[in-house]
Each structure stands twice: as C-alpha cells, then as structure tokens.
Amino acid sequence: MILLGACAGWSLITAAVHDGRPEGVLLAVLAVTAGHAAGRVSGALLPVAAPGAGAAAGLALAMALPALSAGPRYVAPLGHAGGTAALLTLATGAACCAAWATSVPELRLALRALATGIVLTGAVLGSVAGCVASAAVLLWSLAMGWVSRRGGCLLGLAGAAALVAGTAWALAGDVLPDGLARVLEGRLTAPRVALWQDALHLAGRNPGLGVGPGRFGEPGGPAPQTLSTLPADGKPHSAVLQLAAEQGLVGVSLCVAAFCWVLYALWRSPRSTPVALTAGAALTALAALATVSNALSFTTVTVGAGLLAGWATARPWARDCVEART
C-alpha cells in the first residue's frame, strides 16, 4: 500500500510541476488496489471458485474487449491487441491457479481444459502474443508441480521481466547490434520503435521529473511529432518508457519496486508453491506485454492483475478452520 501510495503521490507531484494529467495513473493505481483487495477476500472465501470464475470472465472480456473501450481500434500489434493478449494471459493464470487449488481430479482436469481453451481462443482471435504468452503460462504451471522451492523460480521470473525491459530500452536507445535491432524492429514495427525513441529522448531531457503524466501525446506538447508517429491514443505503447518520459526515473523505480514487491509477496504466500509460481508467471508475462504495448491502459487489465495477485496471496479460511479444529 505504501508503494502504491507513492506511485499515486509521485504522479501528482510531476503533474503539478509540469501541468500534467495524472488521472490515468491514479485510475490504474485504484484499479490494482481494488482488484487486489477483492482478490484477497474472494480468494480466502472461495480459493477455487473465485479464480475459476475470474478466468471465465477474463476470457469473455478478451473476446469483447474492442466493444468495451471508447478508444480507436488499431491493427496488431498496437492498440487493443495488447489488452487482449494481457487478458488472455491473466485468464490462463487464474484457471491454472484454480486447478492447483482444488483436490478434486475431475475439477482440476476441467480447469486445465479451460486454460487450454483460452490458449486456443488467442489463436482464433489472431492474438499471437496472447496465444504464446498464455501457452507459456500453462506449460510453466504444469511444470511447477515438481517444484518444492519457489525462491529461485521467482528470481528467474524477475530476471526475465528485466531482460524484456532492458531490451526495449536498448532498442529505443539504438545500442543493440544492427542485425538484432533489425529483427526486433521488424517484429515490433518501425512506428512503435520510433515512439519509444521519442519517449527515451524526453526521458533523457527530463530524467528527474519527466514531462508530466499524460503529456507525451499532448497536441503541441513536448513529444516530437514531425514523423507523424503518434497514435490516436497519444501513448508510446511501452509502460516503462512512458513512465520514464512522463515521470522520470523515480516513476520507473516505483513501478519496478511494486513489481518486485508482488514477487516477494508470492514468495511469502501461504498458498501452495504451484499456485504462487503460476501467478508469478502470469504477472511476469503481463509485465513483458506491458513493456511492448499499451496493455496497462485498460482498466480491465489492471483490475485483473490485482485480482490474480490477491488470489495467489490469500489465506483460505477453510484451511485455517481445519487447522484450528486439529
């Protein structure tokens, strides 16, 4: 709560200095907080049913996502594609967590079938990123049944998220080898890389406070617009680089600290190791998607992330009651 409060407070400070618009950041913080609180409560009361229902709801929302937002619809890999991939990934993680939480073999099989269906839905919807990320979460979850210690796996997840963020930052800074840079730019598209370069340029000019929340895509604002690369939503389509440009290095540090705290909470979670590591994999995949898209711009995604973290760190009351009786 202290970290989330610091994220909200810093956005207000940078907005006051540069006449920015912190509403988007405040809404995201509120969504994560509300989702986490609801996840902790529902996960304690219904450790299997709550994430199972959440997985089904996430799948439905992913299929209906373009109709849920007033923003413009972009073709992949920009726009709604990032939100769809993120919801599919979180839904897969929730289904796998519910499967590990139940002791009924038939129900566990049904929940894993739901997770498999979510992966296939990503392919049907044309969300390559969502299909790949969901499949990775499902396979990771299946492999976690043989893991007894979670610390090393969580460190590996943190390293994977850092690798993705560092690669995006290096690509924007044009410090990668030419061959690798061309391959990545071909996959990520040149307009998106140009947006990242604009964001990194702004971060270099304003490393402390940034240019203010919401000012990256402001008409006549500080972001270069000579190349006409700004999308209609005015975002650089990278959470890390957007924070660096709009809130400086302090904003990036607070976001990284919040992610690390979630992994620490999963390490200390009273839930079983497969549940904690499955949630960690899904949230790490979300972090990777947010690094290369605008996935966190959707309130449904931020609420879903908070819910999954809450479900994976809740202490089921039923187990406490059994322990008290014994």
pLDDT: which is higher, 81 or 92: 92
Cα separation, 269 vs 238, in Å, equals: 30
Please list, residue by residue across 19-50, b when 16 or more beta carbons sit within 10 angstroms of its beta carbon and e when fewer do: ebbbebbbebbbbbbbbbebbbebbbebbbeb
pLDDT: which is higher, 319 or 180: 180
Q: Are the C-beta atoms of residues 91 and 64 closer than 8 Å to each other? A: no
Cα separation, 69 vs 62, in Å, equals: 12
pLDDT interval class at 9 (50, 70, 90): very high
pLDDT: which is higher, 209 or 79: 209
Cα separation, 202 vs 95, in Å, equals: 40
* Overall average pLDDT of the 202-207 stretch: 88
Cα separation, 285 vs 308, in Å, equals: 13
pLDDT interval class at 220 (50, 70, 90): low
pLDDT higher than 60, residue 231: no
Q: Quick check: helix, strand or coil at residue 233?
A: coil
Q: Quick check: helix, strand or coil at residue 149?
A: coil
Cα separations (Å) of 71 from 80, 81, 233?
Answer: 9, 13, 7
Q: Are the C-beta atoms of residues 267 and 147 closer than 8 Å to each other? A: no
Tokens standing for residue 298: 């959707």
Average pLDDT of the chain, as a whole number: 87
Identify residue 155 by its one-letter amino acid code.
L
Cα separation, 1 vs 255, in Å, equals: 13
- For the chain, give every domain's residue range: 2-325
Cα separation, 38 vs 258, in Å, equals: 18
Q: Percent of the chain scored above 90 by pLDDT?
A: 63
pLDDT higher than 80, residue 126: yes
The pLDDT, as a whole number, for residue 74 is 44
pLDDT higher than 50, residue 76: no
* Overall average pLDDT of the 91-112 stretch: 96
* Overall average pLDDT of the 24-35 stretch: 93
pLDDT: which is higher, 74 or 309: 309
Query: Which pLDDT tens digit goes with each residue over 273-289?
Result: 999 999 999 999 999 99
pLDDT: which is higher, 249 or 77: 249
pLDDT higher than 90, residue 93: yes
The pLDDT, as a whole number, for residue 225 is 52
* Least trusted range by pLDDT, from 115-124, 217-226, 306-315: 217-226
The pLDDT, as a whole number, for residue 44 is 94
Using the structure block, give the residue that is written with the tokens 């992330």: 305
Of 295, 160, 168, 162, nearest to 241 by C-alpha is 168
pLDDT: which is higher, 96 or 195: 96
